[in-house]
Amino acid sequence: MNNPLTQDRAYSPAESARYRVLVEAITDYAVYMLDPTGIVNSWNAGAQRFKGYKPEEIIGQHFSRFYTAEDRASGLPARALRISAQEGKFEAEGWRVRKDGSRFWAHVVIDPIRDEAGKLVGFAKVTRDLSERRATEEALRRSEEQFRLLVQGVTDYAIYMLSPEGIVTNWNPGARRIKGYSPEEIIGKHFSNFYTPEDRAAGMPARALATAAKEGKFEAEGWRLRKDGSRFWAHVVIDPIRDQNGALTGFAKITRDITERKATQESLERAREALFQSQKMDAIGQLTGGVAHDFNNLLMAVLGSLELLRKRLPDDPAQLRLLDNAIQGARRGATLTQRMLSFARRQELDVHPLDVAGLVRGMADLLERTLGKDVDLRTEFSPGLPLAIADDNQLELALLNLCVNARDAMRGGGRIVIAAREEEIDLRHASGLPPGKYVCLSVTDTGEGMDQETLARATEPFFTTKGVGKGTGLGLSMVHGMAEQMGGRLILHSKPGEGTTAEIWLPSATSAARARQEAVPAPEPPAGRRRLKVLAVDDDLLVLFNTVAMLEDLGHEVVEAGSGPEALEHLARQSFDLVITDQSMPRMSGTQLIEAIARDWPDLKVILATGYAELPDGVQVKVPKLNKPFNERDLKKVLAGI
């Protein structure tokens, strides 16, 4: 083989042999020679390994067969030789073809070989197979492109990079959507622009980067700013980016807008707190209602007996004064039980569409006389205020209680504002009421206000901040129970030194009018009314004795029964004109007894005596009711309607 490397050079035969051995031993590079026309005239082991040709198969052939058909068609082989000859070197990368027709990516260098006279005698061609490296680079390029497309396709997260100093260096569509900046508006600016003024003043941006660089990550939640100045609650993660040597080259920052999730969590917390408060109030209400019921029975026995005794005592002023004092005390106790029952939501209500503003104006004189001259009373009502669903008598009592509490909280006088407005609320409202339209009646004072501990207990029965003997602690609890029973809610707002606002939220009337069923006062019984045979039913012997005594004093014949089954036994043996039955009795309730009477004695008149307003679900009792505690006058009035 004629090797130009040894031709016309001052190499010794030994040196030429060593060079030949060196070239032919190389397997990672194809090193071979071409004559001036491109004919292969040498071939090393690396060329055979890359291209698949044995020396005898390729020597004497033109090197263009290593090129693809499209490169041969474009004249690339001849152009490569010409450039090498003219410029002293040709270097390029491209696809080449093996003997089996497969392609590989090659790095090619072609150097011209000249003799001592400068005459071109051939070319030295070195080829390296870069297919694996190109595949790796292509995979990396595709990965980077996919990652770029991924980042650019994310719109729910702001994903961008920062320089080590915190300068924004790129910006994805999610960042634009969440923060409002276009890339040209924010790239090159410091990321502290997204922080609130108070966070910037506290050095939070710099601290976040320092934490990420030191600990490998920074994660937090907080308020951030959009371009328009509005705030959103963000979850932020900052990761440091380091090179192969561990040097910090920047930060990757991911931000998510979780304002809606935060609002949902806060709403859930408020709902949980409201549920806990409701459960606590219900438990206290159950206890209070039970105590009030038993107390009602005791008061009925006391009041009834005292009034009957007063009719029988001689006309002695000293004795009558003592008796009247006892009666007055018992009546005050009855008022107390009514407040307890109101808190427990067990009093009778007559709810109907009500003009709240008109009710307040009608109470103006009463409120001014009650509050005194040291109180500046004002009213503020929204125009076009709709009707509210409420019981006017109970609402008047509640408003009076709130105003008296407000007056007592303002030592030395102050201002009380009674206001009303309509508001549509949703599930996130602090009241926890079902969504809809409500009328909010509020009483605001300029008094001392309450701390959080006092505010949390304010509606509990018997809790009061007034001195001993100056308050029962049932005023706010009564308002609470009344509002709940009417489908509304009592909400208190207060801070020490800032006064208190008590809000009664009532359902707004869905129509301007709904028929109000007013109780028509029963006429007094005529003087010559016939004597009735009455069956009196009550499991409390004190109450039963008192009821019998009042009925007998009114001139009626009475038979006693201590339970529902006992009453049915009496009814089976003899006839009666009337049955007066208690509601709350063991074994058989008053409503169950009424159902049995209606089934077997449908023409028999019945009166239900009860201290409870709540009857079993689905039970409609269409009989006259006598609210406990009742006296002889109340009994006489209800008998007049029989």
Q: Do residues 11 and 103 share a domain? A: yes
Q: Do residues 273 and 250 share a domain? A: no
Residue 236 lies in a domain: yes
pLDDT of amino acid 148:
62
Domain C-terminal end among 334, 362, 383: 334
Res. 545 pLDDT band, cuts 50 70 90: confident
What are 351's two structure tokens? Answer: 């709810």
Res. 509 pLDDT band, cuts 50 70 90: confident
Distance CA 357, CA 384 (A): 10
Q: Do residues 235 and 281 share a domain? A: no
Residue 339 lies in a domain: no
Question: For the chain, how many structural domains are there in total?
Answer: 5
Count how many residues are written for the chain. Answer: 642
620: left (phi over 0), alpha (psi -120 to 50) or beta: beta
Q: Do residues 169 and 273 share a domain? A: no
Largest CA distance in the chain: 162
Shortest CA distance to 564 belongs to which of 533, 528, 538? 538
Pairing of β 605-610 and β 90-97 = unpaired
Mean pLDDT of 375-403: 87
Distance CA 532, CA 534 (A): 6
Q: What is the CATH number of the domain that holds 27?
A: 3.30.450.20
Q: Do residues 93 and 180 share a domain? A: no
Residue 144 lies in a domain: no
| SS3 letters across 433-468 | CCCEEEEEEEEEECCCCCCHHHHHHCCCCCCCCCCC
Mean pLDDT of 304-329: 74
Q: Do residues 380 and 503 share a domain? A: yes
**Residue 607 DSSP label:** E
Residue 250 lies in a domain: yes
Residue 384 lies in a domain: yes
Distance CA 150, CA 156 (A): 12
Residue 142 lies in a domain: no
Q: What is the dihedral of CA 274, 278, 279, 283, to 10 degrees?
A: 160
What are 67's two structure tokens? Answer: 């090129």
Res. 450 pLDDT band, cuts 50 70 90: confident
Which residues constitute the domain of residue 570? 533-640
Distance CA 288, CA 343 (A): 8
Q: Is the pLDDT of residue 190 over 50?
A: yes
For 47, 180, 641, the CA distances from 17, given in Å and listed in that order, are: 19, 74, 140
Mean pLDDT of 99-112: 93
> Among 88-102, 198-212, 303-317, 537-551, which is the least confidently predicted range?
303-317
Res. 342 pLDDT band, cuts 50 70 90: low
Q: Do residues 306 and 366 share a domain? A: no
If you average pLDDT over every residue of the chain, what do you get?
81
Domain C-terminal end among 235, 257, 279: 257
Distance CA 25, CA 416 (A): 106
Mean pLDDT of 444-449: 90
Q: What percent of the chain has pLDDT over 70?
A: 78
Res. 91 pLDDT band, cuts 50 70 90: very high
Q: Do residues 437 and 554 share a domain? A: no
What are 336's two structure tokens? Answer: 């107390």
Q: Let me know: does 221 contact 134? Beta carbons within 8 Å.
A: no
Residue 139 lies in a domain: no
Q: Do residues 419 and 490 share a domain? A: yes
Q: Do residues 370 and 471 share a domain? A: yes
Distance CA 605, CA 404 (A): 44
The number of C-alpha atoms within 13 Å of 514 and in the hemisphere containing its C-beta is 14
Q: Do residues 367 and 500 share a domain? A: yes
> Among 431-435, 478-482, 512-516, 622-626, which is the least confidently predicted range?
512-516
* pLDDT per residue as tens digits for the range 107-161: 999 999 998 889 999 999 999 988 888 877 777 677 666 656 655 666 678 889 8
Using the CB atoms, write b or e for 39-69: b if 16+ within 10 Å.
ebbbbbbbbbebbebebeebbeebbeebbee
Most confident of 341-350, 613-622, 624-633: 624-633
Mean pLDDT of 534-558: 90
Distance CA 261, CA 273 (A): 18
Distance CA 431, CA 426 (A): 10
Mean pLDDT of 497-511: 85
Residue 397 lies in a domain: yes
Distance CA 52, CA 85 (A): 28
> Among 15-19, 60-64, 208-212, 601-605, which is the least confidently predicted range?
15-19
Amino acid at 363: M
Domain C-terminal end among 492, 507, 522: 507
Res. 336 pLDDT band, cuts 50 70 90: low
Q: Is the pLDDT of residue 623 over 80?
A: yes
Q: Do residues 233 and 103 share a domain? A: no
pLDDT of amino acid 97:
94
> Among 126-135, 554-563, 615-624, which is the least confidently predicted range?
615-624
